[in-house]
């Protein structure tokens, strides 16, 4: 292979790597988690999203050392959506065994890219932990 071909491949790899690192994410606001029982955790947060963006059901992948990786997909609801950025609230329950003591949360854009990130410890103290109300079907 010609020496310029290696330089071109290296340059292309550098662009791909910086593109992946440049993916813009925002922090989660008002983030909190508390244990409902030995297998479920209530999770609440707010993120900056689109006016038609609605969070879906969270799912948890077990990590190491008591960390649970929670992913919350989103979808655009409505036929006509503006580009307006608004606070989007999430309140839900994640199935998480007692061994999970910290949650790392990733909110995904409707296209599957990362949108917002956050991390919180799961509260287990004497404070009241209330299960979020179920959403009415639309």
The reply to whether the predicted model has a pTM over 0.85 is: no
- Strand duo 114-123 + 26-27: pairing: parallel
Residue ranges of the domains in the chain?
25-123
User: How many angstroms separate the CA atoms of 9 and 41, rounded?
Assistant: 46
pLDDT in tens, 61-118: 998 999 999 999 999 998 888 888 999 999 999 999 999 999 999 999 999 999 999 9
Mean residue pLDDT across the chain: 84
Residue 121 confidence (pLDDT) above 50? yes
CA atoms within 13 A on the CB side of 130: 5
**Is the pLDDT confidence value at 15 over 80?**
no
Per-residue pLDDT, 9: 44
Stronger pLDDT, 37 or 78, i.e. the higher one = 37
């Amino acid at each position: 292979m010609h020496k310029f071909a290696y330089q071109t491949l290296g340059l292309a790899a550098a662009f791909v790597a910086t593109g992946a690192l440049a993916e813009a994410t925002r922090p989660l606001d008002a983030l909190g988690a508390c244990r409902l029982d030995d297998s479920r955790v209530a999770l609440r947060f707010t993120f900056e999203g689109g006016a038609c963006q609605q969070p879906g059901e969270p799912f948890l992948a077990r990590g190491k050392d008591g960390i649970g990786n929670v992913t919350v997909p989103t979808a655009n609801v409505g036929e006509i959506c503006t580009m307006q950025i608004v606070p989007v609230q999430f309140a839900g329950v994640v199935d998480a065994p007692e061994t999970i003591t910290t949650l790392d949360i990733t909110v995904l854009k409707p296209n599957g890219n990362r949108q917002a990130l956050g991390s919180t410890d799961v509260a287990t103290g004497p404070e009241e932990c209330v299960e979020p109300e179920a959403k009415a079907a639309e």
